[in-house]
Structure 1
Amino acid sequence: MSDKEPVIITCAVTGGIHTPTMSPYLPVTPDEIIADSLGAVEAGAAILHLHARNPEDGRPDQSVEAFMRFLPRIRQATNAVINLTSGGSPHMKLEERVKPAAELRPEVASLNMGSMNFGLFPLVEKYPEFKFEWERRHLESTRDVVFRNTFQDIEYILSACYANETRFEFECYDISHLYNLAHFAGRGLVKPPFFVQSVFGILGGIGTHPEDVIHMKRTADRLFGKDYRWSVLGAGASQLRIAAQAAAMGANVRVGLEDSLWAGPGRPAKSSAEQVTLVRQIIEGLGLRVATPDEARNILSLKGASAVGF
């Protein structure tokens, strides 16, 4: 990232990992997702990374109808860049996962850059009881789940979305995922600037040690040079520590209740905006400036909000 570029804050407000039992503040209903999203933008987020949920029990819902319960209202209320997941949940089929991004044509869609073990099962031990029956099964089943993102799967998502001029948040959970992205870049199937989201702390991916962060950055620099913009996502308690380290190294950052339920040791975050505020303080404390949505569009060469399908 150029020293002159402001720092892009992405906020992921709900995701498909955490379940309603884990936090009373996790957005589940359309109204809750809208309120959390708008609060995050007001606090300084330029990009909103969005999943949908069943409003009755909070389980991940990747139907277009579920997204349309909140997307038009968010777009009407804010100029923020909207980024739709194509990851959904490790339990979903590829066609189900990509459908919202393919049909609704967002400015950005997430794209996981490789198959991996995606272990959520340790979370089961932290909660003696769950509000909904699906939660325990959802978490426990990841002992024997490979989150599939084959080369063929990635090509399918690229072809489904690039025709709509949607660009990608390339989610890289390990060093091999950077090499996978380099493979597609070498074939001319992805277009710079690459928005590389390095993900730290998911069981099955790279860890959260400071050397892991440095290794990810060093490898991306070697593979992509000036053709990429780096961002980081630290899962759980590592969220703000990794954001601080990486921001000092020139990274953009991602926070939100999808990635962590905490605002400090033993202190639950009451909103994604609370985490955006904390990371904004870190960024500005480093003498850096937070990007506006339009600055983020310019940095990432996005098509603009007028070209989306919602």
Structure 2
Amino acid sequence: MKKVIITVAQTGAFHGKELNPNIPTQPDEIAASAYDCYNAGASIVHIHTRDKDDRSSCDTNTFAEINSKIRSKCNIILQNSTAPPTKPGSVADEGLAALNLSPDVRPEMCSLDCSLITTSWGDLTWIYMWTRDWIMKTAKRMRELNIKPELEIFNIETLEDVFDIYQPAGILDDPISLSFVMGMNKISQGAISYSEQNLDFMISKLPKYQNVNFSTISIGAKTHLTGAVQTLLKGGNVRVGFEDNVYYNRGELAKSNAQMVERIVRIIRELGMEVATPDEARQILKLKKM
């Protein structure tokens, strides 16, 4: 029976409580939500940080506080974000705060965006300088720290880079874990929309000779659940959570991240699959001991 890894992305770097007051933004809220998601069936929790005013940040001390509080509650896999804060003048290296954590609070995974994209949010527009050199340097550092990267893939060119450039360079350990990011095209140049056709094309470009763990980050209420279910049916894992979608149903705000985890757990089991526990996910992803 296939074991499905569920990642929950509780809080992103863009929208906050102004869109859904149930989004956890502060360390205690994030830790409590992560524990609820763990009990609901999540294997991995994807973590962003906010400052005391709920603005996007990438603060090492805040990551340490969140990671410590979650680990005191449960053994869910911690996956810290390496996206820079959404503020004027932010640069790619600001997103690497989680790589500076001490071993006792260091995550087992970190996201690693692999696309050179331009994003506009409100009055701000920035080019994320995730160049090939930067990606290779960051992936190498993660490997040295025993942190497995979750590769975020926004387009086909990026996917080809993974298997034509980064993997041959010896900086990515098998099995590769990646997420197709779809639905940010309205705010990000270089990103693609979610559709089953686009998903099929991306999956078709995965190498047939090796095991690759993939999921889809389908952004927005219209495609969030559809993307998760279609990815399941095509052999992938799933990601849900407020970072990607604030609604449970059309016009109905989600009450919690755990509510979305509970729904995808029911769907997984109805499809004749089973949910991976955090320890089973560690075995599937071959995470290294910290």
TM-score of the superposition, structure 1-length normalised? 0.86
Q: How does 1:21-32 map to 2 (within 5 A)?
A: 21-32=18-29
- Of the candidates 157, 161, 173, which is equivalent to residue 191 of structure 1? 173
Q: Of the candidates 227, 237, 240, which is equivalent to residue 255 of structure 1?
A: 240
2:134 is the counterpart of 1:153? yes
Partner of 1:303, secondary structure, is coil
Aligned residue in 2 for 1:81: 77
State the Cα distance separating 1:226 from its structure 2 match.
2.0
Residue 114 (structure 2) aligns with: 113
2:206 corresponds, among 220, 223, 232, to 220
Aligned residue number for residue 182 of structure 2: 200
TM-score with structure 2 length normalisation?
0.92
Corresponding residue for 2:91?
93
Please give the alpha-carbon distance, in whole angstroms, between the structure 2 residues aligned to 1:163 and 1:101: 10
2: CA distance, partners of 1:276 / 1:173 = 24
Question: Pick from 294, 301, 304: which aligns with 2:286?
Answer: 301
What is the rounded CA distance, in whole Å, between the counterparts of 1:89 and 1:202 in structure 2?
17
The structure that is strand-richer by fraction is 2
Q: Does structure 2 conserve the Cα–Cα contact (< 8 Å) formed by 1:41 and 1:80?
A: yes
Letter in 1 for 2:107: P
Which has a greater percent of helix?
A: 1
- Does the 8 Å contact 2:26/2:50 carry over to 1? yes
CA-to-partner distance for each residue in 1:13-53, whole Å, 9 max, x for gaps?
10102133111111111111111111111111000111111
1:12 corresponds, among 2, 9, 16, to 9
Q: 8 Å contact 1:46–1:81 — kept in the other structure? A: yes
1:243 corresponds in structure 2 to: 228
Q: Is this contact kept in 2: 1:102–1:160, CA < 8 A?
A: no
Q: Is this contact kept in 2: 1:51–1:88, CA < 8 A?
A: no
Q: Runs of 5+ in structure 2 lacking a partner?
A: none
Cα distance in 2 for partners of 1:236, 1:278 equals 17
Residue type of the alignment partner of 1:76: S
Sort the Cα spacing of 1:88 and 1:39 in 2 relative to 1 into closer, same or farther, 3 A.
farther
Which residue identity does 1:80 align to in structure 2?
Answer: I
CA contact (8 A) 1:235 1:259 kept: yes
2-structure distance, mates of 1:152, 1:89 = 21
Query: How far apart, CA to CA, are the structure 2 residues paired with 1:245 and 1:285?
Result: 14
For 2:116, the aligned partner's letter is S
In structure 2, the residue corresponding to 1:254 is in which secondary structure? Answer: strand
Give the drift of 1:160: 2.3
Structure 2 SS opposite 1:216: helix
SS in 2 for 1:77: coil
1:18 is aligned with what amino acid?
H
Equivalent residue letter for 1:202: M
Find the aligned partners of 1:48 and 1:218 in 2 and give their Cα distance: 28
Matched to 2:64, the amino acid is M
Inter-partner Cα distance in structure 1 for 2:10 and 2:19: 14
Is the 1:102–1:161 contact (alpha carbons within 8 Å) kept by the matching residues of 2?
no
Q: CA deviation at 1:87?
A: 1.3
Give deviations 1:203-234, integer Å, cap 9, x for gaps: 23111111011111111245xx3231111111
CA distance in 1, matches of 2:86, 2:166: 22
Query: Relative CO higher for 1 or 2, CA cutoff 8 Å, sep ≥ 6?
Result: 1
In structure 1, distance between residues paired with 2:254 and 2:81: 22
2:196 matched residue in structure 1: 210
Say if 2:58 is the partner of 1:62. Answer: yes
Q: Identity percentage over the alignment?
A: 30
- Verify the 8 A CA contact 1:9 1:45 in the aligned structure 2: yes
- The AA in structure 2 aligned to 1:235 is I
Q: For 2:45, which of 30, 44, 48 is the aligned residue?
A: 48
Amino acid at match of 1:35: A
What is the match of residue 268 of structure 2?
A: 283
Q: Aligned pair in 2 of structure 1 residues 202, 301: CA closer, same or farther (>3 Å)?
A: same
